[in-house]
Amino acid sequence: MTENPWTRWPSREALARKDDTPARRSLGRALRLLALGVLLWSAVDSPRAHGWTLAAGGAIVLVAAGAARGFFRMTLAHRLWPSLLLLTLLLGLAVAAEALGFGSPAIVLWCGCAVVALERLPLGAALPFASVALSAFAAVNEDMWLTTAATLGALAMVGYTLRLDAEARGSAARLLAQERAAREAEAESAALTERARIAREIHDVLAHSLSAQLVHLEAARLLIERGADRQQILDRVVAARAMARDGLDETRQALSALRGDLTPLEDFLTGLARGADGTEVTVEGERRPLPVEASQAVRRVAQEALTNVRKHAPGARVSLRLAYGPGEVTLDVRDSGGSPGELAGAGGGYGLLGMRERAELLGGSLEAGPDEEGFTVRLRVPV
């Protein structure tokens, strides 16, 4: 809904002038002090400036200065009636000054009231007061009518120009504040996104490491319950310890990845295959560096898929195929199938779900399900 221009105040940003340059603020103070000095000098220099008349003239100037200061404060607070009362007081002081023979202070007050009314008040209230002030000035002015008319037009133009300038500066101040708020929101959003990425990365590292340890520890528990020999149990415990050590290494790698320091993806997959018997790695397409998020997604999916093979099809042959396409990278993990292991029920079952969510955050996809031989996991990530 459009605001009525006749009742609209100039914005507080425009009236406050907080964003004025130091030079402009200094100039404004100097002009106000100059105006006050001129008024005082005009009162003192008047031919009738003696005795109580001089005291009355000085009092009028000082009261006018206080009323002007109050008017500026009230208009800054957008308080209409106090502003109009103070402006009426200033016009009355000008009439009193004229009656006492202080013509120059009276003219300055009338002209000043007209200008500041047009600059700082809603137009519906500013025009009547400016008209009264300029009419009073025209009534006492002794210049030719053409000169008086030009002066009145110039004063009205100055007041309205100052209003437009204030509104323009107020709009610029609001836009600058909005831009600052948008930048702060953007920085906060980037920080939250980075925190979420760090949390997701640490979660995935710990989930994979702890899940693998759980596999071996659960196997050790089952062997103990079945009365297996000591060496078999010891092998499982040693394997769990090795997985814990690997988890620490992966955590360090994850922290390095967060800093952008990653080992080549092909080397990582090759090292992963060496730790899993019967795993073959194939790389197709033109090798190239990948974004950190895409590279980490491929690494985590490969780890999770191999962990699932150990749990659900122990001893199965596994093929890892990494394909670099023109606009995406694809990872296929296929196993030859087999009987479910005794640890098929271990773990929370959220690994592939988390990997699917990670892929979707990157605009990719993850498909997992049985095929002709065993089980297939396929990851597609745009790059």
Q: What is the pLDDT of residues 195-214, one digit of tens each?
A: 776 666 666 667 667 777 78
- Residue 376, pLDDT above cutoff 80: yes
Per residue in 211-260, pLDDT tens? 777 877 888 888 888 888 888 888 888 878 877 777 776 676 666 666 65
How far is 369 from 375, CA to CA, in rounded Å? 6
Per residue in 135-146, pLDDT tens? 988 888 877 888
Q: Does domain 263-383 match CATH 3.50.50.60?
A: no
CB contact burial 20-35 (16+ within 10 A = b; e otherwise): eeeeeeeeeeeeeeee
How far is 158 from 18, CA to CA, in rounded Å? 22
Overall average pLDDT of the 18-25 stretch: 66
Specify whether the backbone of 363 is left (phi greater than 0), alpha (psi in -120 to 50) or beta.
left
Structure tokens at 121: 């008040």
Per residue in 72-98, pLDDT tens? 889 888 888 999 999 999 999 888 888
- Residue 5, pLDDT above cutoff 80: no
Residue 1: the pLDDT is 45
Cβ atoms within 10 Å, residue 197 = 17
Which of the pair, 171 or 194, is modelled with greater confidence?
171
Overall average pLDDT of the 24-44 stretch: 67
- Residue 187, pLDDT above cutoff 80: no
Q: Which residue has the tokens 């920080």?
A: 191
Domain ranges of the chain: 12-142, 263-383
